Amino acid sequence: MLPLNNVTNTVESSKQLGIGKVVRYCVICGDKSSGFHYGVLSCEACKGFFRRGHNSEFKCKYMTPCVITMENRNDCKACRLKKCREVGMNKQPQSLQPAKVPIDPIQQDKLEFEWISQQIRRLYSSNYDYSSDRMRLMTIKDLQLENNTKTLQHFINEINSDITSFVLFLKSVPLLDDMTPEDKSILMKRHAFSIYVVRSAPAYTENGFLCMNGGRIAWQKFYDVYGELGIKMNAFATEIREMNFTESEIGVFVMLIMLQPIPVEDVVQTGFQNVSLLTETHTRFSKILNYQLTTRDPENRLFDKIQGLIEEVNTINNLHKQSIKLIETNITSFSVPPLFADVFGFLDAVLDDQTVE
C-alpha cells in the first residue's frame, strides 16, 4: 500500500484547497493535460490522436498488453486507442454525450509524481557526465600523475565541470521555478561537495577513480590527496551505488541534500531570502523520492535509508570545507576556474584568464 493512497493528504487535495496552480495530467499517457477532451482529462496529443483515429482499427503487435506512457505513446496505436476507449473517451455527435469522467485525485497525484520524475530524469541525464549512457561509451585510460598537485588539479577540473553541469540542471529543474537564482546559488554552494560526491559515485571503481573523460586515477593517488576524507568518500559512494538509484532518483536525492533546512545564522550571513519556499520545496521533493523508491521496490523500505545517507554526506561536506584550505593556501600552484573559486569561497586572486580545459 503506497503512502499516496491517503486521500486527505494528496497534492491533488491541497490543490482543491486552493494551494498552488492547478495542474492536471492526461489519464491516458500521463502528460500534462489541457482539460477535458471527448469526456476525459487528456493531453493535446491524446486528444489529437483520438480525433484522428477514433474509428480506426489497429492491431497490437506485442505479446503483453502495452502500458501507455508519455514516452511510448506512439509505439502502439492499438493499445493507445484501446486505452482512450477504456478511460471513457467517446465521440458522440452532441446528443447523448455521456458525463465527463470525474477526476481521480489519487490517480492525479500518482501521475504528477511520475511526470515530475520523468522531467527530472531527462534533465538530469542530459546534464550528467556519469549517466549510464555516457559511462558505456567511456574509454578508460590510466592517468600518470607525478605528484599530489597534479592529482588535485584533476579533481579541481572534475568538480568544476560537474558543478557546471549541475548548475544547468538547477536552472530548469521542476518545482524550483519560484526560487531566485541567488537563493539557488546559496544552497548549491553550501552543499557543493556533497553534490559532487553523490554525482560522482559511479566513478569509484575497483581499479581507481574514473574521471569524466575516462581518465583513471589510481586509488593510491586518490588517497594521497584526500587521506581520511577519501576513505569516507569511497565508502559513501559504495553505499550510494548499492541503492541502485535511477537517474531520476539521484536527481531528487541531490535536491534533498541541497534543500536541507538552513540554520538561522546562515540565513543572515548568506542573505538567503525565501525560507518558507525552501521548506515547502524540500517537502515536495521528499514526497517524490518516497514515491519513487516505494514504487520501485515496495518490499525494502529504501526511503528510510535516505536520512542516514544525507547525514553521512553532510559530514563529508563539512570535512571537505576544512581540507579545501589546502588549495587556498597554495592557490598559485593550481589553475582554479572562476566557478570553482566562487563556489568554494576563494575570494581573492583568481586570474581572469584561467581556463578550464
Partner DNA sequence: CAAGGTCAACATGACCTC
Partner DNA sequence: CGAGGTCATGTTGACCTT
Other CB atoms within 10 A of residue 293 CB: 23
Query: Cell numbers 551505488 label which residue?
Result: 241
Site for DNA in 100-139 (CB under 7 A): 100
Q: Is 83 in the site for DNA (CB under 7 A)?
A: no
Candidate segments 49-57, 138-146, 237-245, 260-268, binder of DNA by CB under 7 A = 49-57
Looking at the Cβ atoms of 72 and 97, the one nearer to its own copies is: 72
Segment 48 to 87, residues that bind its own copies, using CB under 8 A: 59, 61, 71-72, 75
As a whole number of angstroms, the distance between CA 56 and CA 257 comes to 50
Contacts 24+ apart (CB under 8 A), 104-108: 104/27, 105/7, 105/10, 105/12, 105/13, 105/16, 106/4, 106/5, 106/7, 106/10, 106/12, 107/27, 108/10, 108/11, 108/12, 108/24, 108/25
**Contact positions with DNA (CB under 7 A) in 51-80:** 51-53, 73-74, 77
Nearer to DNA, 42 or 160 (CB): 42
Q: How many residues bind its own copies (CB under 8 A)?
A: 6
Which of 86, 104, 133, 242 touches its own copies (CB under 8 A)?
Answer: 133
Binding mask 2-41 for DNA (x = CB under 7 A): -----------------------------x---xxxxx--
Q: Does 126 bind its own copies (CB under 8 A)?
A: no
| Residue ranges in 47-76 that form contacts with Zn ion under rule CB under 5 A | 60, 62, 66, 76
The strands making up 204-205's β-sheet, listed across from edge to edge, are 141-142, 215-217, 208-210, 204-205
49 touching DNA, by CB under 7 A = yes
**CB 245 → Zn ion: shortest distance, Å?**
25
Nearest-approach distance from CB 254 to DNA, in angstroms: 27
- Of 45, 68, 116, 145, the one binding DNA by CB under 7 A: 45
Look up residue 47 and give its three cell numbers.
Answer: 486528444
Cβ distance to its own copies smaller for residue 133 or 228: 133
Measure the CA–CA gap between 188 and 343, rounded to whole angstroms.
8
C-alpha cell at 249: 532518483
224 binds, among Zn ion, its own copies, DNA, none (CB under 5 to 8 A by kind): none
Contact residues: DNA, CB under 7 A = 31, 35-39, 43-45, 47-49, 51-53, 73-74, 77, 91, 100
Interacting residues toward Zn ion by CB under 5 A: 26, 28-29, 31, 43, 46, 60, 62, 66, 76, 79
Q: What are the residues binding its own copies (CB under 8 A)?
A: 59, 61, 71-72, 75, 133
